Amino acid sequence: MSHIRLRRAARGAVAAFCLLWAVSFTASAQVSIGVGVALPGVRIGINIPAYPQLAPIPGYPVYYAPDADANLFFYNGMYWAFADNAWYSSSWYNGPWYMVPPEEVPVFILRVPVRFYRRPPMFFRGWNRYAAPRWGEHWGPRWERRRPGWDRWNHRDVPPRAPLPQYQRQYPPARYPGPQEQRNLQNRYYHYRQEGRPGWQQQHQRNMPPHGNMPPQRNMPPQRNMPPQRNEHNMQQRGERDRHRGEHPPR
């Protein structure tokens, strides 16, 4: 009986050691790979040593970074990255990055063929390299209902590519500017007018965290430019009186 108990105790010790090792390995992996991924305005593990080489994707208004060890794209004046099963966007090549909900990722980013992903995730395996990823299969029917027709478009009617922010070549990681300086430099050197900028993208430009689904106040006309309702009513009454006098001059 003593030998049986010793064997059981040894097996229990080995099992406990394996479990502890697995937990510690998982925790260390999460720390090294996913630091701050869920937070707005942070780095997501993409550390590019210099301004990336960006090549146009034929037939798409999108660029990709062929030499980067990351799924990095440029579209509509913004950088886009797919990492840790999420999409992020930034106005600068090394962030800070902001998470974009799957329902709001631009369609032409979703349409980029699988073969232009430099680090394709595991669930891409077996998919057609020359077609867009099966995002509907990955994100499910609810996402598909909210993004109908995302994978169908007129291939002969593609918008032009946005110009590349070449001024960022002057700012390698050693001189990489902070958020405030990024805004100033972009306003000074990059004058491309982005099309269809949703509220979250405007927040990214200001390097502010998203604020849910609240409608941005900047889309409302300024109060000082709106004439008071009573003044408009008074002017209308005055016009009616003047017209009445013109039709019936005083005797």
pLDDT, tens digit, 9 for 90 and up, residues 57-73: 999 999 999 999 999 99
Calculated CA dihedral for residues 103, 107, 113, 115, nearest 10 degrees: -60
Six token digits for residue 158:
């593609």
| pTM higher than the cut 0.85 | no
Mean pLDDT in residue range 154-178: 94
Mean pLDDT, rounded, for 95-115: 96
Check residue 152 and give its pLDDT.
93
Average pLDDT over all residues of the chain:
75
Most confident among 17-31, 97-111, 210-224, 235-249 (mean pLDDT): 97-111
What is the mean predicted confidence (pLDDT) over 200-221? 42
Half-sphere exposure (Cβ direction) of 69: Cα atoms closer than 13 Å:
6
Q: Residue 208's pLDDT is what?
A: 45
Please report, for the chain, the start and end positions of each structural domain, with discontinuous segments joined by +: 1-33, 55-205
Q: How far apart are alpha carbons 101 and 250 in whole angstroms?
A: 70
Indicate whether 194 pLDDT > 90: no
Can you tell me the distance from the alpha carbon of 99 to that of 115, in angstroms, rounded to the nearest whole number? Answer: 23
Name which of 155-159, 175-179, 205-209, 217-221 the model is least confident about.
217-221
Distance of CA 83 to the CA centre of its chain: 11
Lowest mean pLDDT among 104-108, 139-143, 165-169, 221-225: 221-225
Q: What is the pLDDT of residue 204?
A: 52
- Alpha carbon distance 57, 96 (integer Å): 25
